Amino acid sequence: EDPALLEAFEARVAADEFIEPKDWMPEAYRRTLTRQISQHAHSEIVGMLPEGNWITRAPSLRRKAILLAKVQDEAGHGLYLYCAAETLGTSREEMIEALHSGKAKYSTIFNYPTLTWADIGAIGWLVDGAAIMNQVPLQRTSYGPYARAMVRVCKEESFHQRQGYEISMQLARGTAEQKRMMQDAFNRWWWPSLMMFGPPDDNSPNTAQSMRWRIKRETNDELRQKFVDITVPQAEFIGLTVPDPDLKWNEEKGGYDFGTIDWEEFYSVVKGEGPVARERITARRDAWEKNAWVREAAQAHEAKKQARKAA
Ligand code: ACO
């Protein structure tokens, strides 16, 4: 790689300029962005499954309409992100093939089952809450198309977080059985939500370089700490107990100390051994294969339109 080009690139990044698709960029920058953005896209798409599972069973028409809209938003997020990743030169088919063959990762969080309606509250509140914590700084990521996709995603995501917290609040204020259900969902989603931020900084192979290139604007541990600090008072406010006996306010650091995350569980889920990992990928593959006719029909329709225009 030409050192003068590299130097100019680094100077632009350091000046907080956006790098755009046609600009020169180091191959490793392109690679790591393609990896991160496509995995982010896959997470949005696979993330539709645990909640989609509850659309027909939402407890009222209002809840059903909200959940349906929310799951559709996630599909939209996946599509913006695939578009952003495509600008780096990898086709959507290649990215989807990488997901279906198990080569590309997606967030560990979507490999856990949604057992009761309270899980839908917990996902909106905790999972979307963690997602926003990670995505707000990505609005300033150095790659223009990714940063711009994040602006809209974050607006929608904050609505998702509120709807989840509102479900959680209602259940926590409900009958003893509803409150028990909510506490149980909270217990099951708390630790996996903390794992969403990725391995600890000293064990995160990509963080240092991604911080230098301003792809990541905050580290995994910084974001995880912020999430804990914001979420613990929210749990207390609605009368839920955080399932962590080591959780303690630390006056000196102005944040909570919290217990050790089960990293063995994290790595086994990353490797594809999550409780419902196989089910998730099978559902995605089935959707892709069984609905191939829809893509083919849309392409045939477009080709006909173009041919008519050309005639
Ligand atoms: N689930 C699955 N894989 C993970 C997770 C996770 N929660 N956290 C880290 N990993 C993977 C990384 O992808 C990386 O593997 P790879 O090199 O094969 O891609 C490996 O573990 C080591 O981690 P890091 O070096 O810390 O990787 P990175 O710098 O990419 O940081 C992070 C991981 C924080 C997830 C980053 O990629 C990111 O910010 N992504 C964008 C946000 C995102 O994808 N959110 C998805 C969930 S939110 C939602 O969809 C609603």
Is 78's pLDDT higher than 90?
yes
CA 276 to ligand 1 centroid distance, Å: 19
Average pLDDT over residues 244-268: 98
Is the CB–ligand 1 distance for residue 107 below 6 Å?
yes
Mutation test of ligand 1: which of 204, 226, 268 has the most ligand atoms closer than 8 Å to its C-beta? 204
pLDDT at 1: 84
Q: What one-character DSSP code corresponds to residue 241? A: P
pLDDT band at 225 (very low <50, low <70, confident <90, very high): very high
Per-residue pLDDT for 261 more than 90? Answer: yes
pLDDT in tens, 132-190: 999 999 999 999 999 999 999 999 999 999 999 999 999 999 999 999 999 999 999 99
Q: Whose CA is nearest to atom 36 of ligand 1?
A: 36
Q: Copy the structure tokens of residue 42.
A: 């896959």
According to DSSP, residue 256 is labeled E
274 touches ligand 1 (CB under 6 Å): no
Cα–Cα separations (whole angstroms), residue 203 to 29, 198, 207: 20, 9, 9
Ligand 1 atom with the smallest distance to the CA of 130 is 48
Q: Which amino acid is at 133?
A: M
Measure 99 CA to ligand 1 centroid, in angstroms: 14
Span 80-129, pLDDT tens digits: 999 999 999 999 999 999 999 999 999 999 999 999 999 999 999 999 99
Q: Is the CB of 134 under 6 A from ligand 1?
A: yes
Burial (Cβ within 10 Å: 0-12, 13-18, ≥19) of residue 40: buried
Contact 195 CB / ligand 1 (< 6 Å): yes
Q: Which stretches does DSSP call E strand in the chain? A: 248-250, 255-257
Mean pLDDT for 53-60 is 96
CA–centroid distance, residue 110 to ligand 1 (Å): 13
Could you give the C-alpha distances from 94 to 11, 83, 102, 103, 241, in angstroms and in order? 32, 13, 12, 11, 44
Tell how far the Cα of 53 is from the centroid of ligand 1, in angstroms.
24
Question: Taking residues 13-36, what's their average pLDDT?
Answer: 98
- Report the separation in Å between the CA atom of 173 and the middle of ligand 1, taken as the mean of its atom positions: 35
Compute how many other C-beta atoms are within 10 angstroms of the C-beta atom of residue 196. 23
Distance CA 170, CA 112 (A): 23
Confidence of residue 311 (pLDDT cuts 50, 70, 90): confident
At 204 the pLDDT is: 98
Whether residue 207 has its Cβ less than 6 Å from ligand 1:
yes
Q: Is the pTM of this model over 0.80?
A: yes
**171 neighbors 179 (Cβ within 8 angstroms):** yes
For residue 109, what pLDDT is reported?
98
- Residue minimizing CA distance to atom 11 of ligand 1: 198
